[in-house]
Amino acid sequence: MKLWTANLDLENRTMNVVKRDGRSVRFDEDKIFQALKKASDKISPWSEAQQERIESVTDRVISEIFNRFHENVKIYEIQNIVEHELLEAEEIALAEEYVSYRTKRDFERKKATDINFTIEKLIQRDSTVVNENANKDSNVFNTQRDLTAGAVSKAIGLKMLPPHVANAHQKGDIHYHDLDYSPFTTMSNCCLIDFKNMFEKGFKLGNAQVDSPKSIQTATAQASQIIANVASSQYGGCSFDRADEVLAPYAKLNYAKHKRDADKWIETPEKREEYAKEKTAKDIYDAMQSLEYEINTLFTSNGQTPFVTVGFGLGTDWYAREIQKAMLKVRIKGLGSEHRTAIFPKLIFTLKRGLNLEVGTPNYDIKQLALECSTKRMYPDILSYDKIVELTGSFKASMGCRSFLQGWKDAQGNEVTAGRNNLGVVTVNLPRIALESRDSNGKAQFDKFWAIFNERISIAKDALLFRVERVKEAQPKNAPILFMNGALGRLKEQDSVDELYKNERATVSLGYIGLYEVATTFFGPIWENNPEAKAFTIEIVKRMHEDCEEWSKATGYHFSVYSTPSESLTDRFCRMDKEKFGSIPDITEKDYYTNSFHYDIRKNPTPFEKLDFEKDYPVYANGGFIHYCEYPMIQQNPKALEAVWDYAYDRIGYLGTNAPIDHCYACGFEGDFAPTEKGFKCPQCGNADPKTCDVVKRTCGYLGNPQARPMVHGRHSEISHRVKHMNGLVGSLANGQNIDSVLVDEKKSEYFVER
């Protein structure tokens, strides 16, 4: 119903709009109509008469633009014409509302780069600032100092970014992650630390030259110091991959020592062996317990516990097996006299066919221990060995919570995983694109969606290229632990850090959020079983993947699609879009956007159905992904969880367990705490004191303790809406029952019972 085209021959006319940031974009007349409609909605309810008035004004505005300008028109010139035509039409109230909105937007843009304003928000303890990271305790001095520095860095960083990138970030079209660190500094994101290299060759830390460890206890002590220093030299998570295999040689040194002692004092060979192994097993357990406590008591320079992930499960010798068992037993036991759940390190256990997946395989007993641990502590998450190789090109744990490196070989043809990193993330607000693609009748248009999509992806590309160029300006001496002492490499002071980034050695990530909301805009809220809707969402991720492949070939840096964790972004994007588009059922009304490709968390498919739905997305989003299933209390039924793990093995690469493990020390309740406006409380006695209750929820890729360290409103709302995946589950799987009969039909659901 474009009345404004009636009096002009626009078929062969083109017009470009010069934005404030200098970009030139294709003129879209519908944006004028939508801006006027939004202003009108603030005055009175929408009606047919109002639509005719708005269309009439829009018609005159378009005519004036095309009469006065030929190829290019500046954005402020369009705004001036709109205001003039509103006054000419005696639409005084509408003109006032339109001018008020434009003034407010200009003011908001200025505030975003105003250091005084950002510091004021911090002083006022604005929840969008102090609760942005659920791992930071904003009450302590070192975190407050980091938040203050971050506020300044963000304001300066926005001025450093290309104008169109900064503008897109401020408006909420994209999100330039970790602005409190980058681009103000040349820091990079997450990494896989090369512990093997550092242990074997030694390293320098502070004033000390550290030699190769001579025991398992020394190795884990060194590991905790390495983690603290790496976490202070970057802003993302860090991972200790294949920890059991890397630490095993140092446990073997303990065994050799105990064997020498036994040879002196014990007569029979059998008793010597028994003594040495018993002492070594105790050493291993103590070392793993020390590592757990050291990580949870560490504070990095930015005032938070290091985001640490430990991958394990592939070791087969006695030492590696004992390390695996000790990690799990320590986690099951919990921290302190109250046995609280440890938030860090995140544990990832690898399943592998022929090793531990099936009954009768060498490490099947450890899988059983991992299942027990996961039902009681939510960790470990699991990796499916063969699927990770298929999706990413080689096997490795994630960097941090979900970022994956692609397979990569050095000049000698050796497969390299550890000692590599990610250079940063930029996320595109997909739900906004969908909402902006609606016509004057509110119906989303596919052609318009793809046009806006391509524009936003282009901006994201420029943002990512800027990230790459900025991190290359770092010097090895800026972070010796990373660049000179083996965590990423062993460069000399005069070398370029680009040696560790170029030739696709490092990754840089194009993130996305809200595929559920995108499809809901086009197909309605119940679309998961609609093949056309799902194909559309897969096409979005596929096109992002194709763009990344093209950028990689052109630049020599590995761009990949990343399913953004969105801890605070699920709040920020939705909050900004709610302000821009209003409260829209199943989209902005919820106060959160759904993470990446995840099934709508308010629905309750079976775990099988959820995994079958989600498995197609990481094929393209292979630079970062994770799946979750929500369970009831399953501590007495680990076979139920094993059924899901086994079903997942050939379908997805990475799976997390979400189960109720909250504990009230006042009344003894154990299970799922009830959500309140800002936190959680014991459903039995109402206790909400973090000193006497332990509340553990899956924040995003990592666990969090929201009662002790609150999270942003959108994430809290999302957690509160999560539904257990129990619908349609019939019958039960008795504890200890063989699961083979359960999985005769892959879709069969006869295994769950809430106990």
Catalytic residues: 189-190, 399, 401, 403, 422, 562, 567, 701
Q: 257 Cβ partners below 8 Å, 6+ apart?
A: 215
Q: How far apart are CA 514 and CA 431, in angstroms?
A: 6
- Orientation angle between helical segments 243-265 and 269-297, nearest 10 degrees: 140
Residue type at 409? K
Beta bridge partners of 383: 350, 654
CA of 392: how far to CAs of 174, 386, 407, in Å? 26, 10, 6
Q: How far apart are CA 587 and CA 520, in angstroms?
A: 7
Q: What is the DSSP letter of 238?
A: E
Q: How far apart are CA 574 and CA 710, in angstroms?
A: 19
DSSP letters for 501-546: TTTTTSEEEEEEE-HHHHHHHHH-S--TT-HHHHHHHHHHHHHHHH
DSSP letters for 286-306: HHHHHHHHHHHH---TTSB--
Q: How many C-beta atoms surround the C-beta of residue 542 within 10 A?
A: 17
Q: 275 Cβ partners below 8 Å, 6+ apart?
A: 258, 261, 262, 266
Q: Is the dihedral of CA 612, 720, 127, 590 positive or negative?
A: positive
Question: Do 188 and 234 meet the contact criterion of CB atoms below 8 Å apart?
Answer: yes
- Orientation angle between helical segments 269-297 and 318-333, nearest 10 degrees: 50
Mapped onto helix, strand or coil, the DSSP state of residue 32 is helix
Q: How far apart are CA 704 and CA 736, in angstroms?
A: 31
Q: How far apart are CA 736 and CA 343, in angstroms?
A: 29
Beta bridge partners of 680: 675
**Surface-to-core class of residue 585, CB atoms within 10 Å of its CB (0-12 exposed, 13-18 middle, 19+ buried):** exposed
Q: What angle do CA 220, 226, 229 make, to 5 degrees?
A: 145
| Bond preceding residue 183 cis, omega within 30 of 0 | yes
Give the tokens for residue 559. Answer: 């761009």
Give the tokens for residue 693. Answer: 């209750």
